[in-house]
């Protein structure tokens, strides 16, 4: 990948170890929200990872009913913009609208509603917030036009191995709709999703446990080296 020129990089001593999103995401066009371009969105609710990454934004959705305390905790820690999940499956209606308004009040740049969200819920959220409404799409057979008519601004495609295919099918019918999509685990899968028509990519970082495991492996190696150096200095 061609190195970008004219962009000096500064990393402070205590921030050298952070989660870096794949560089291939930089080839996406991005989605401009209120003047700022977003290409990479980190998919996590882990506070430590949210504080230590180089993504453009955090997309905080989780498999539980959304709660204001979670949104408050994430927005308090995050050093980048946050897109918050506000329901759609277990939670919808007025509660989703109220949580969406809470998210906006705490600085979130967008809200996400999950696939089963009723049309009425989109309309209720649209009436109370002035930030983009994002709808998660899990199938190529979803009625996209119905969601757009109800107030959805951005699509968030999450179709596992079928994601690139779903993006491609949506793009045929809606050439200008903003699309976020899961990129998958490799540079090749991310590139395929971008080429299919995704404007931005959600990246799932390694778990906190995985990152800690790698760090502990490094520390154990350092201790072994120190032991061997002590043995050598003692002539053993």
Residue 26 DSSP class: G
CA atoms of 53 and 208, how far apart (whole Å)? 13
The CA-atom distances, in angstroms, between 29 and each of 32, 80, 89, 168, 195 are: 9, 19, 30, 15, 10
104 and 220 share one domain: no
63 and 113 share one domain: yes
199 and 212 share one domain: no
The pLDDT of residue 223 is 82
Total domains in the chain come to 2
113 and 70 share one domain: yes
CA atoms of 173 and 156, how far apart (whole Å)? 16
Is 84 in contact with 67 (CB distance < 8 Å)?
Answer: no
Q: Which residues of 208-236 are buried (b: 16+ CB within 10 A; e: fewer)?
A: eeebeeeeeeeeeeeeeeeeeeeeeeeee
- Tens digit of each residue's pLDDT, the chain (236 residues): 445 567 787 777 767 778 899 999 999 999 999 999 999 999 999 999 999 999 999 999 999 999 999 999 999 999 899 999 999 888 999 999 999 999 999 999 999 999 999 999 999 999 999 999 999 999 999 999 999 999 999 999 999 999 999 999 999 999 999 999 999 989 999 999 999 999 999 999 988 777 768 778 887 888 888 777 777 787 65
The CA-atom distances, in angstroms, between 183 and each of 9, 136, 189, 191, 211 are: 26, 14, 6, 8, 20
59 and 152 share one domain: yes
Residue 9 maps to a domain:
no
Q: Which of 167, 169, 221, 156 is nearest to 189 (CA)?
A: 167
Q: Which of 184, 187, 202 is nearest to 134 (CA)?
A: 202
Residue 195 maps to a domain:
yes
62 and 102 share one domain: yes
- Contacting residues for 80 by C-beta, under 8 A, at least 6 apart: 53, 55, 56, 57, 58
> pTM of the full predicted structure?
0.88
114 and 45 share one domain: yes
109 and 215 share one domain: no
State the residue range of the domain holding 149: 21-205
The pLDDT of residue 53 is 94
């Amino acid at each position: 990948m061609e190195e970008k020129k004219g962009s000096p990089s500064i990393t402070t001593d205590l921030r050298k170890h952070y989660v870096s999103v794949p560089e291939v995401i930089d080839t996406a066009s991005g989605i401009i929200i209120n003047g700022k371009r977003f290409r990479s969105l980190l998919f996590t609710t882990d506070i430590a990872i949210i504080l230590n990454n180089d993504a453009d934004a955090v997309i905080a959705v989780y498999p539980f009913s959304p709660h204001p305390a979670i949104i408050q905790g994430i927005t308090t820690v995050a050093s980048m913009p946050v897109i918050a999940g506000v329901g759609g499956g277990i939670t919808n209606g007025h509660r989703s609208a109220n949580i969406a308004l809470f998210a906006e009040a705490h600085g979130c740049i967008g809200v996400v509603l999950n696939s089963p969200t009723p049309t009425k819920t989109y309309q209720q959220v649209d009436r109370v917030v002035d930030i983009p409404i994002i709808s998660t799409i899990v199938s190529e057979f979803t009625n996209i036009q119905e969601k757009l008519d109800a107030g959805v601004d951005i699509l968030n495609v999450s179709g596992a191995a079928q994601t690139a295919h779903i993006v491609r099918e949506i793009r045929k019918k809606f050439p200008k709709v903003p699309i976020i999509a899961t990129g998958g685990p490799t540079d090749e899968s991310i590139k395929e999703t971008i080429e299919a028509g995704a404007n931005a990519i959600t990246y799932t970082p390694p778990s906190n446990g995985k990152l800690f495991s790698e760090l502990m492996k490094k520390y154990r190696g350092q201790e072994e080296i120190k032991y061997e150096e002590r043995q050598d200095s003692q002539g053993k």
